[in-house]
Amino acid sequence: MSKGKILVTGGTGYIGSHTVVDLLENGFDVVSADNYHNSTASVLDGIEAITGVRIVNHNIDLADQAATAKLFEEHRFDGAIHFAAFKSVGESVEQPLEYYRNNLNSMMNVMDGLQRQGSSNLVFSSSCSVYGNADELPVRETTPRKTAESPYARTKQMGEDILYDFCAHHRDFKAILLRYFNPAGAHPSGKIGESAANPASNLVPVITEVGAGKRDKLTVFGNDYDTRDGSCVRDYIHVSDLAHAHTLAVEALLGETGTENPALYNLGIGEGLTVLEVINAFEKVSGKTLNYEIGPRRAGDVIAVYADRSKATRELKWEPQYDVEDIMRTAWAWEEKR
Ligand code: WQD
């Protein structure tokens, strides 16, 4: 028997597709809405190969209010996970209006759709980038947000604020906000992973592309920071661990007893690793020597950020299963397959 019908927006995207798999494996029915802006329909084959289920994807633009309203006329959802968004920090600086229009309208349309059909239960994808250069490490959910470093990060701050305002008025609308740290790796089956649609700019895919000879070398953005080895510190979280947290969040919403609404959780492993440590992990699991050089600092980088994840572990019973070597092993297997 199905535990409920969940709308996953951005269901063919990187985190979305891994979450669809986890939801299906945990007894939920899933409908996806994704316009393939940053993915392809072939992801549906990967999901089917892992789970045996061919999910339906609605190829619509969620920023289009009429199209989104129609989706909610066709289905009655027990809840929604809203991943669909533009996510490139650099691009957001060049195209701020596109980012605000897309990321905020889509979110409001999904909230509207749920509310109009009398259901609630929304999981919203936020980001550790809302913390900016935080005053304390590890960051806790109560650590104050600082000025966003990019329009992308600001859309996440604004998305959070909109949800708080909405829930304050609609007391029966339940929501969970999840702040992701640095998602990386691929499904252990090797059948889904990060999309190759755009040239990679995040650390882990850049490393695997250099390892595969698709690009010459990796530039480490700075080794003169006040950290263990001078390179920046981040909290790398395996995408399948991140995905499972969404299933737990949906289960918590459906069986909700808590009082905090929206409830807010950090999703990181809780450990900071430097860029050089991530490179070492790659070299260890691949047996390759990575061609890298030390370059200048990258504008907008925070020095160090990693999560206190005790709240998600305590309340959602979330325990990450994978470490950085698993991340590099699965990311490398995915790269070699591509
Ligand atoms: C990680 C570290 C770089 C590439 C961003 C967003 C965040 C989230 C994830 C989600 C940094 C260093 C990187 C390279 C390097 N977005 N690096 N050489 O900037 O922590 O987070 O992506 O959608 O919201 O802000 O991730 O992977 O770009 O960088 O040295 O070629 O690797 O300086 O320290 P970041 P990243």
The domain in which residue 261 lies consists of 5-185+236-268
**DSSP secondary structure, 51-107, as one string:** HS---EEE---TT-HHHHHHHHHH---SEEEE------HHHHHH-HHHHHHHHHHHH
Q: Known catalytic residue: 152?
A: yes
Report how far residue 47's alpha carbon sits from residue 58's, in angstroms, rounded to the nearest whole number. Answer: 15
The answer to the question of residue 166 being in a domain is yes
Q: Is residue 319 part of a domain?
A: no
From 130, 201, 234, the mutation candidate for ligand 1 (largest count of ligand atoms within 8 A of CB) is 234
259, with CB counted inside 10 A (0-12, 13-18, 19+), is exposed
State the ipTM, two decimals. 0.97
Q: d(Cα 47, Cα 216) in Å, to the nearest integer?
A: 32
- Closest ligand 1 atom, CA of 202? 27
Residue 217 lies in a domain: no
- Does residue 287 form part of some domain? no
Distance 238 CA to ligand 1 centre (A): 15
Residue 135 covered by a domain: yes
Cβ-based burial of 44 (10 A; exposed 0-12, middle 13-18, buried ≥19) = buried
CATH of the domain at 261: 3.40.50.720
30 pairs with which residues across the strands?
6
Using CA atoms, how far apart are residues 55 and 186, in angstroms rounded to an integer?
20
Asked whether residue 134 is assigned to any structural domain, the reply reads yes
How confident is the prediction along the chain (338 residues), in pLDDT tens digits per residue?
899 999 999 999 999 999 999 999 999 999 999 999 999 999 999 999 999 999 999 999 999 999 999 999 999 999 999 999 999 888 999 999 999 999 999 999 999 999 999 888 999 999 999 998 899 999 999 999 999 989 999 999 999 999 999 999 998 999 999 999 999 999 999 999 998 556 788 999 999 999 999 999 999 999 999 999 999 999 999 999 999 999 999 999 999 777 799 999 999 999 999 999 999 999 999 999 999 999 999 988 889 999 999 999 999 999 999 999 999 999 999 999 88
Whether residue 304 has its Cβ less than 6 Å from ligand 1: no
Q: Compute φ and ψ for 265, nearest 5 degrees.
A: -140, 140
- pTM for the whole structure: 0.97
In this structure, what token pair is assigned to residue 233? 């510190």
Q: Is 76 in the pocket of ligand 1 (CB under 6 A)?
A: no
Q: Which residue's structure tokens are 């669909």?
A: 84
Quote the number of domains for the chain: 1
Of 210, 275, 293, 328, the residue with max ligand 1 atoms within 8 A of its CB, to mutate for a pocket test, comes to 275
Catalytic residue among 99, 131, 152, 322: 152
Burial profile 223-245: b = 16 or more Cβ within 10 angstroms, e = fewer: bebebeeebbbbbbbbbbbbbbb
Residue 82 lies in a domain: yes
Does residue 211 fall inside a structural domain?
no
